[in-house]
Amino acid sequence: MATAIAAQTHTITVLVDNRPGVLARVSGLFARRGYNIESLTVSITDNPNMSRMTIVVAGDADTLEQITKQLHKLIDVHKVFDYLDTPMLERELVLLKVQSEPERRAEILQLVEIFRGKVVDIAERAMVIEVTGGGDKIDSFEKQMEPFGIRELVRTGRIAMMRGSRTV
Amino acid sequence: MAKIKSTGAKALLESLRREGVEIIFGYPGGAVIPLYDEIYHCDFLQHVLVRHEQGGGHMAEGYSHATGKVGVCIGTSGPGATNLVTAICDAMMDSIPMVAITGQVRTEVIGKDAFQEADITGITMPITKHNWLVKNVNDLPRVMHEAFHIARSGRPGPVLVDVPVDVFRAIVEYDPDEVQNIEISSFKSDFKVHKVQVKRAAELIAQAKKPVLYVGGGAKAAGAEHLVQALAHKTGFPVTTTLHGLGTFPENDPLSLGMLGMHGTAYANLAVEHCDLLIAIGARFDDRVTGKVSAFAQNAKVIHFDIDPGEINKVRRADVSIVGNCAEALEALLPLVDETQDISEWRAELDAWRVDMPLEFNDGAQDGTLHAEWVIREIARLTDRNVVVTTDVGQHQMWAAQHFGMRSPRQFITSGGLGTMGFGLPAAIGASFGVGPDKDVWCISGDGSFQMCIQELIVATIYKLPVKIAILNNTFLGMVRQWQEMFWQKHYSSVDMERAPDFVLVAEAYGMLGLRCDNVADVEATIRKAMETEGPVLMDFRVVKETNVYPMIPSGQTVGDMIVRKPRQIEEPESTCHYEPRDTRMPVVDEVVDVAR
Ligand SMILES: Cc1cc2nc3c(=O)[nH]c(=O)nc-3n(C[C@H](O)[C@H](O)[C@H](O)COP(=O)(O)OP(=O)(O)OC[C@H]3O[C@@H](n4cnc5c(N)ncnc54)[C@H](O)[C@@H]3O)c2cc1C
Ligand SMILES: Cc1ncc(C[n+]2csc(CCOP(=O)(O)OP(=O)(O)O)c2C)c(N)n1
Ligand SMILES: [Mg+2]
């Protein structure tokens, strides 16, 4: 059982059958039991019969314990992994369309460089920038872009993986 | 075995045969006609034509409650399926194994708002252990066996299989032995009892000075009543049961404290309040048991036996948890506990409470009034308690739980978790099919609840079932009226049931004997007449209108707030509780969080 951790966010990985309706079962469980999802990402895996969900939830250790146990009760769920005390990598990706008057481009490009982002499209008065990284990094990149005028922004949910040779 | 070829409908029935199903409760309609055509030709299965799918669902539940087997019910697509929803939810809340089979519109029109289309797998997703929409007939035989496996394994519960009408008609070629060999790698139900945890439980038990066994429906599901009794008798520990645990420990045993919780006995609740070790066996710390959780068994360590890991630490943190079948766990525990533990001081304390605050009832000897509690006690006495009892929901249900004095598990069948009015009659019918014609089933009902599934009376008549229905008719939605009286300044809003059909005439219209009893003197004769009469009988007991169920711990409150008995004066209520007297008859409205269930 997890030691006392205050309410915070946790990342969990859920391996599920790749079947219609599974997403509804998982998200329905969170909704009806009142667990707060901050983000949910579904993706394929190396096994065509399985999907991988990465879910970011807010809650204390007790809530996390309940979430894990209740998820296990869903027939479509094979594995739940909560990364507690496990070194991990977390990534998100943002596509950000920023106002870029010709005279401010250089300034923007410098910031993109610092964040190791990429310019993936450019027009006369706007460019689209792609940045990947942890949530904090992306938050702060967004902040840096705000003064230029963010015209549109889309951000993926979080995905996660253990460091080292172990697998979920 | 070699492959066989059949229609989907026939394959479905073959799976029922292989699962040992003998009876199903259903109602036909367009989407299930192909299935009913196979039923027409079927020789191993009894199909009971119900009068409303909800009734069929509750019959399947009653059958399952009484026998431990999986109950099976059928409804057609759309309204047939949605009518099953209440019963499915009821089975989910009370962990009753059930397979619901529904017809669906043709595969090719699914999602097009076709005639009588309802997304029943979507609707029942939160109230089933699992469900399937079977779009390919090749999956149907395997899914059926998976359905039974999931319904009955681990913590039992309902599942639903939705079958489009064309899938019933399609041809499937399959090996029936092979599909029965199911393996669901992602479904774990056979948790092995952890020996180390059992040892730790034994250690806590050895240290306890004030222990209580808190026994629930899981002990019944496990068939662990003998082990519970052995544990109690070896240790001398007192036993309280939940509503669903009633009967797993005989109430005439000196160690029995009866039921705990909102309407439990004062002494059971005081025992839990003061205990230093609470041993929960297949019980789930329901809020009708705990009241305010932070104040529940405050000084106690908790040992929790449950087959569902999700129940551990859900409501109350356990000091020792033993996940797995509690029968297996108790078997492992028994040799480790000591029979010489001295808890005589604790037992003396309990006995004092027992004497001080017994369950009260009025036998009418003084004032000639007819009370529901008295009718229930007389039914128990005259039948020698050798009957199955079902109830509806309300005051009569609580009085039955308090006053019948259950002796054996699966004797008492009630809707606890969902509290479904209308459950009693169909559950009695289902139970009667389960236990056979030689055992009477008594349905203790209320005048309100009874009208919710009244249409199933005809089923009892047709099959001449020994179902004896006792309506404890207080001309009120009594339980709600009680809350309005106690917590809502007697604002009797929409609880008057004075205008009701003549239940005796109703009985006659449905082809059974109807009896009315409106005074204490006739109670025995009425009950005896019902017992002597073959087949179903309906009794209309005209009981006192405005009485309340006591003891009562108001919703979300504590044992300290328990109202032990009827206040002597209504205007100036003296404290009614011997224990930490406090007037709680008018709690702040905000505290009354849930409505009367
Ligand atoms: C009007 C009204 C008033 C009520 N008042 C009260 C009251 O005063 N007192 C009261 O007790 N109830 C009361 N109830 C009922 C209450 O709402 C709950 O339904 C009931 O308390 C739950 O009983 P339980 O804890 O035994 O759990 P159940 O719902 O019977 O659940 C069984 C538990 O056992 C577990 N289990 C199943 N199989 C096994 C196995 N093989 N081994 C181990 N564990 C297993 C399950 O996982 C589950 O946790 C009332 C209901 C109504 C409608
Ligand atoms: C289907 C349903 N609707 C409403 C309720 C709320 N409710 C709980 S008890 C009760 C009154 C039951 O009246 P009756 O059957 O006459 O029993 P009594 O309490 O009078 O013994 C009501 C309305 C419920 N439990 N179920
Ligand atoms: Mg009534």
Domain coordinates of chain A in residue numbers?
A: 8-82, 88-162
pLDDT band at residue A62, thresholds of 50, 70 and 90? very high
Which of the 8 DSSP states describes residue A11?
E
Q: Cβ separation of B125 and A78 shorter than 8 Å?
A: no
Going by C-alpha positions, the residue among B412, B376, B47, B383 that lies closest to residue B220 is B412
CATH superfamily of domain region A88-162: ACT-like. Chain A, domain 2 (3.30.70.1150)
Going by C-alpha positions, the residue among B207, B268, B220, B214 that lies closest to residue B241 is B214
Task: Please report which ligand is nearest the Cα atom of B547.
Answer: 2
Q: Cβ distance B444 to B373 under 8 Å?
A: no
Q: What is the 3-state secondary structure (H, E, C) of A98-114?
A: EECCHHHHHHHHHHHHH
Chain B CB contacts of A70 below 8 Å: 310
Give the integer Cα–Cα distance in Å for B597 and B593.
12
pLDDT tens-digit map of A83-92? 998 999 999 9
Q: Which of A25, A62, A72 sits opposite B125 (nearest CB)?
A: A25
- Whole-model pTM: value is 0.95
Give the integer Cα–Cα distance in Å for A76 and A26.
9
Question: One digit per residue, pLDDT tens: chain B, 597 residues?
Answer: 689 999 999 999 999 999 999 999 999 999 999 999 999 999 999 999 999 999 999 999 999 999 999 999 999 999 999 999 999 999 999 999 999 999 999 999 999 999 999 999 999 999 999 999 999 999 999 999 999 999 999 999 999 999 999 999 999 999 999 999 988 989 988 899 999 999 999 999 999 999 999 999 999 999 999 999 999 999 999 999 999 999 999 999 999 999 999 999 999 999 999 999 999 999 999 999 999 999 999 999 999 999 999 999 999 999 999 999 999 999 999 999 988 889 999 999 999 999 999 999 999 999 999 999 999 999 999 999 999 999 999 999 999 999 999 999 999 999 999 999 999 999 999 999 999 999 999 999 999 999 999 999 999 999 999 999 999 999 999 999 999 999 999 999 999 999 999 999 999 999 999 999 999 999 999 999 999 999 999 999 999 999 999 999 999 999 999 999 988 755 444 444 444 434 444 444 444 444 343
For the structural domain made of B372-549, what CATH number should be given? 3.40.50.970
For the record, the structure tokens of B482 come out as 């009680």
* Ramachandran class of B154: left when φ > 0, alpha when ψ lies in -120 to 50, beta otherwise: left
Burial B435-447 (b: 16+ CB within 10 A, else e): beeeebbbbbbbb
For the record, the structure tokens of A43 come out as 């993706």
Residue of A32, A35, A73, A80 to mutate for B, most B C-beta atoms under 10 A: A73
Q: Cβ separation of B309 and A69 shorter than 8 Å?
A: yes
For residue A87, the CA-to-ligand 3 centroid distance in Å is 61
Q: Please check whether residue B206 touches A, CB under 8 A.
A: no
Rg of the Cα trace of chain A?
19
For B351-392, the DSSP string reads: HHHHHHS------STTT----HHHHHHHHHHHTTT-SEEEE-
Instruction: Number of helices (H) and strands (E) in chain A: give both, helices first.
Output: 4, 9
Q: Cβ separation of A66 and B313 shorter than 8 Å?
A: yes
Q: What angle, rounded to 10 degrees, do the helices at B8-18 and B140-152 form? A: 30
Q: Cα torsion at B404, B408, B411, B417 (round to 10°)?
A: 90
Chain A CB contacts of B188 below 8 Å: 72
Chain A CB contacts of B309 below 8 Å: 69, 72
Q: Cα torsion at B426, B432, B437, B442 (round to 10°)?
A: -80
Q: Which residues line ligand 1 (CB under 6 A)?
A: B 94-95, 155, 216-218, 221-222, 242-245, 259-264, 282-284, 286, 288-289, 305-308, 311, 325-326, 393, 397-398, 416-417, 419, 479, 597
Domain locations in chain B as residue ranges? 4-180, 195-356, 372-549
Q: Cβ separation of A75 and B130 shorter than 8 Å?
A: yes
Give the integer Cα–Cα distance in Å for B287 and B301.
19
Residues 6+ apart with CB under 8 A from B73: B24, B25, B26, B53, B56, B57, B59, B60, B84, B87, B98, B99, B100, B101
Pocket residue to mutate for ligand 1, from B94, B279, B286, most atoms within 8 A of Cβ:
B286
H-helix or E-strand spanning residue B489: none
- How far apart are the CA of B581 and the nearest CA of chain A, in angstroms? 35
What residues of chain B, 92 to 151, have a C-beta less than 8 Å from chain A? 121-122, 125-126, 129-130, 133, 150
What are the beta bridge partners of residue B26? B49, B74
Strands ordered across the beta sheet of A36-44: A36-44, A50-59, A8-17, A77-81
Q: How much is the average pLDDT of A116-122?
A: 97
- Residues of chain A contacting B, Cβ within 8 Å: 1, 17, 21, 24-25, 28-29, 32, 62, 65-66, 69-70, 72-78
Q: Which ranges of B436-535 does DSSP label H, i.e. alpha helix?
A: 447-450, 457-462, 478-487, 503-509, 523-532
Residues 6+ apart with CB under 8 A from B346: B209, B210, B211
For the record, the structure tokens of B7 come out as 């229609």
How far does CA B453 lie from the centroid of its chain? 17
Q: How much is the average pLDDT of A52-68?
A: 95
Q: Dihedrals φ, ψ of B486, to 5°?
A: -80, -35
Residues 6+ apart with CB under 8 A from B587: B487, B554, B557
CATH superfamily of domain region B4-180: Thiamin diphosphate (ThDP)-binding fold, Pyr/PP domains (3.40.50.970)
User: Does B495 contact ligand 2 (Cβ within 6 A)?
Assistant: no
For the record, the structure tokens of A18 come out as 């790749």
Which of the 8 DSSP states describes residue A32?
H
Size of interface A-B (CB pairs under 8 A): 38
Atom in ligand 1 nearest the alpha carbon of residue B282: 34
Q: Which of B126, B187, B313 sits opposite A75 (nearest CB)?
A: B187
Give the pLDDT score at B190: 87
CATH class, range B195-356:
alpha beta
Q: Whose CA is nearest to atom 41 of ligand 1?
A: B222
Going by C-alpha positions, the residue among B597, B545, B206, B511 that lies closest to residue B370 is B545
Domain B372-549 in the same topology as domain B4-180:
yes
Chain B CB contacts of A62 below 8 Å: 313
For residue B288, the CA-to-ligand 1 centroid distance in Å is 9
pLDDT band at residue A7, thresholds of 50, 70 and 90? low
- Chain A residue closest in CA terms to B154: A73
For the structural domain made of A8-82, what CATH number should be given? 3.30.70.260
Give the pLDDT score at B73: 98
- Interface predicted TM-score (ipTM): 0.91
Is pLDDT at A118 greater than 60 in this prediction? yes
Residues 6+ apart with CB under 8 A from B144: B11, B12, B15, B16, B19, B161
